[in-house]
Amino acid sequence: MPVADEIDNAGPHFVKILIVEDQPRLSQLLRQGLAEHAYTVTCAGGCQAARDALCEVSYDLIILDLGLPDGDGLDLLSEWRRSRFTEPVLILSARDSVQDRVRGLDLGADDYLSKPFSLEELLARVRSQLRRRSEVKQTVIEYRGIRLDLLSQSAHLNGQPIELTRREFALLEIFMHNPGRILARTLISEKIWASHYDLDTNLLDVYMSRLRAKLERTYDKTFFRTVRGVGYQLL
């Protein structure tokens, strides 16, 4: 089973860009142009491949074509926004009417560039999106009734305060940054227990069961799924 190989809030990391484009030549051109500027690039040739890619790893930016062989990029975009995937999306499409642009932006795209385009302009727009992204520092994260305030380090569930230790809070925060994604045990452990030499992943199970007890027993909802031998997922 594919697993996220990097955690969203792991600090400085390589900028990851997902290209959703079905034309192999264009896809290759984009990949090359972006890779030359040290971006880490993943390409998906259709809707399903893009869905799969985004379920596995988080991206800093998605470049989205609209006419795809197995569906419409706009449907994909609205699906992502409904599922609270907040990755910035730059639409790159041959559809260039005002209505098309408005529709794309209304559905949650962050920018719209029409084909044909110059690679230079695309790169400038990518930089602009990434700058904006790093300026927006989220201090409150909400998901399924869970509300984490990162400044005051307080947690609420359905408006009721939950008492969490610092480690439990840090653990929940990682999941809240990556809802729906399967996170590998070693990655979670490395993030929570910075010193690797005494890394004991059994400790993770202990913390997970405490966190579950605090979130799930009181409200009789399942928040976490254990993926045997792999890790955990915030559902």
If the CB atoms of residues 22 and 87 are measured against Ca ion, the closer one turns out to be 22
The β-bridge partners of 42 are 18
By CB under 5 A, name the one of 65, 87, 111, 173 that touches Ca ion: 65
The minimum distance between CB 17 and Ca ion, in angstroms, equals 18
| 131: region left, alpha or beta (phi > 0 left; psi from -120 to 50 alpha) | alpha
Query: Nearest distance from residue 94's CB to Ca ion, in Å?
Result: 7
* Segment interacting with Ca ion, rule: CB under 5 A, options 17-25, 102-110, 158-166, 200-208: 17-25
3-state secondary structure of 211: helix
79, 85, 86, 90: CA torsion to nearest 10 = -50
Q: Which is nearer to Ca ion, 15 or 50 (CB)?
A: 50
Span 21-50, contacts to Ca ion by CB under 5 A: 22
Q: How far is the CB of 138 from Ca ion (least distance, A)?
A: 33
Q: Are strands 182-184 and 231-234 parallel, antiparallel or unpaired?
A: antiparallel
Binders of Ca ion in range 147-166 (CB under 5 A): none
C-alpha distances in angstroms, 235 versus 47, 93, 152, 175?
22, 33, 25, 9
User: Which two structure tokens, joined as six digits, stand for 29?
Assistant: 């051109």
Shortest Cβ 101–Ca ion spacing (Å): 17
Which CB atom, from 91 or from 188, has the smaller least distance to Ca ion?
91
Length of the chain: 235
The Cα–Cα gap between 231 and 192 comes to 14
Looking at beta carbons only, is 22 or 111 nearer to Ca ion?
Answer: 22
Binding-site member from 2, 24, 67, 161 for Ca ion (CB under 5 A):
67
Q: Which is nearer to Ca ion, 104 or 231 (CB)?
A: 104
DSSP symbols for 155-191: EEETTEEE---HHHHHHHHHHHHSTT-EEEHHHHHHH
Q: Please tell me whether residue 173 binds Ca ion under the rule CB under 5 A.
A: no
- With CB atoms as reference, the residue minimizing the distance to Ca ion is 67
Stretch that binds Ca ion, among 15-23, 97-105, 109-117, 130-138 (CB under 5 A): 15-23
- Residues forming contacts to Ca ion in the complex (CB under 5 A) are 22, 65, 67
